[in-house]
Amino acid sequence: MREDTPSRTAQWVAAARGLGMLLPADIRIAEDPYGIAFASTRIQKLIEERRPSVLAQVPGFKTWIAYMQVRTKLLDDAVRNFVDMGGRQVVLLGAGFDCRALRMPELDGSVVFEVDHPATQEHKLSTLAKLGAQSPARYVTWDFETRAMDELPEGLADAGHDAEQPTLTIWEGVTMYLTEAAIDASLRAIADYSCPTSQLAMTYQAKTPGEKLSLAARAVQFAVARLGEPFRWGWDPMALPEYLEERGFALADDVSTPEAADKLLPPELASTISRADHSRVALAERL
Ligand SMILES: C[S@@+](CC[C@H](N)C(=O)[O-])C[C@H]1O[C@@H](n2cnc3c(N)ncnc32)[C@H](O)[C@@H]1O
């Protein structure tokens, strides 16, 4: 990501989460009342002017909203399951403008740590301050590429994290932007601060050797590269279990976004997500 500039992709995904409100209530599977506050001023203006029909005509717009509905629902469910099992610590690694600490009542009684790049975190704090919203999250500032990841457990401990208690780490929309060195170092750091029964929920881009990228996948890659945050990393889903196991995690679940969309959304909305979409959501448990 660009130094000194809040993440543009974080702005995009927060906006798409918020724009889920344009969907009819009976098919909406995730709500983010804070997302729009992070959208570009152009999108905010169209919403204020109540012109969702203009937004609906923007190419790929419906797909983006549907995609974020599915991703948000799967990860919100991971939070609910973790809390139901008694977990009380959540780390949002690369939190961006994720407002789970504010918007999920299930997290009352839990401690949420948000780790992100200083520029993104600063923008989040000033936006929430303008809204008068007081997040109970604890903020830990980190650049995953330049600051030693093996110091993260200590950074979290300084913010009150207890490595003896189970932690759910959500690594949403981050792995694709990191170098392999940062991925490896991050997973080892997560394993280090996560005691057995802790969990890791993450999104990733599937990269199968020799596979030709679909037009839709190339369009997404082009768009994020233009925002200054090119995709750098992905896993072959067949190789993911071994990669995780070598770093102390057992893969428990791994689903592609289109597969999940088929289960969660009505067919006409699910079909806006390309069957060749490469994004996946995986859940792993600390060994
Ligand atoms: C697409 S956003 C996802 C944000 C959030 N997890 C979500 O899903 O809404 C990517 C996030 O990764 C963070 N990120 C990317 N590279 C980073 C780095 N080198 N150090 C710290 N954070 C980084 C960005 O600041 C941004 O918040």
CB atoms within 10 A of CB 11: 21
User: How many folded domains does the chain comprise?
Assistant: 1
Question: Is the CB–ligand 1 distance for residue 10 below 6 Å?
Answer: yes
On whether residue 1 sits in a domain, the answer given is no
CA of 10 from ligand 1 middle (Å) equals: 6
pLDDT at 221: 86
pLDDT score recorded for residue 251: 98
Look at ligand 1, atom 2, and give the residue with the nearest C-alpha. 10
Alpha carbon of 76 to ligand 1 centroid (Å):
18
Closest residue by Cα to atom 24, ligand 1, is 7
Short-list 232, 179, 182, 173, CA closest to 203: 173
CATH code at 111?
A: 3.40.50.150
Question: Residue 3 domain-assigned?
Answer: no
Cβ contacts of residue 214 below 8 Å, gap of 6+? 274, 276, 277, 278
Domain that holds residue 268: 8-286
Q: Does some domain include residue 73?
A: yes
Q: Which tokens in the block code for residue 34?
A: 């804070």
**Three-state SS sequence of 118-173:** HHHHHHHHHHHHHHCCCCCCEEEECCCCCCCHHHHHHHHHHCCCCCCCCCEEEECC
Atom number in ligand 1 closest to CA 178: 16
Q: Are 261 and 255 in contact (CB under 8 A)?
A: no
> How close is the Cα of 165 to the center of ligand 1, in Å?
25
pLDDT along the chain (287 residues), means of 10: 80 94 93 94 81 73 94 98 98 98 98 96 97 97 93 98 98 96 97 98 92 81 84 95 98 98 96 91 98
Question: Is residue 35 within 6 Å of ligand 1 at its C-beta?
Answer: no
Report yes or no on 208 lying in a domain.
yes
d(CA 164, CA 193): 8
**Does 2 reside within a domain?**
no
| Distance from the alpha carbon of residue 50 to the mean position of ligand 1, in angstroms | 30
Here the tokens at position 165 are 């208690």
Does 214 reside within a domain? yes
What's the rounded Cα separation, in Å, for the pair 134 and 140? 16
| First vs last C-alpha separation in the chain | 32
Strands in 111-116's sheet, in edge-to-edge order, are 138-141, 111-116, 89-93, 168-171, 199-205, 279-286, 249-256
Q: Which residue among 2, 7, 36, 227 is best mutated to probe the pocket of ligand 1, counting the most ligand atoms within 8 A of its Cβ?
A: 7
Q: Is the CB–ligand 1 distance for residue 96 below 6 Å?
A: yes
Asked whether 273 and 238 are in contact (CB, 8 A), the reply is: no
Q: According to the model, what pLDDT value does residue 259 have?
A: 97
- For residue 39, being part of any structural domain is answered with yes
157 within domain boundaries: yes
Please compute, for residue 140, the number of CA atoms within 13 A of its CA located in the half-sphere on the CB side.
Answer: 25
Distance in angstroms (rounded) separating the CA atoms of residues 254 and 247? 17
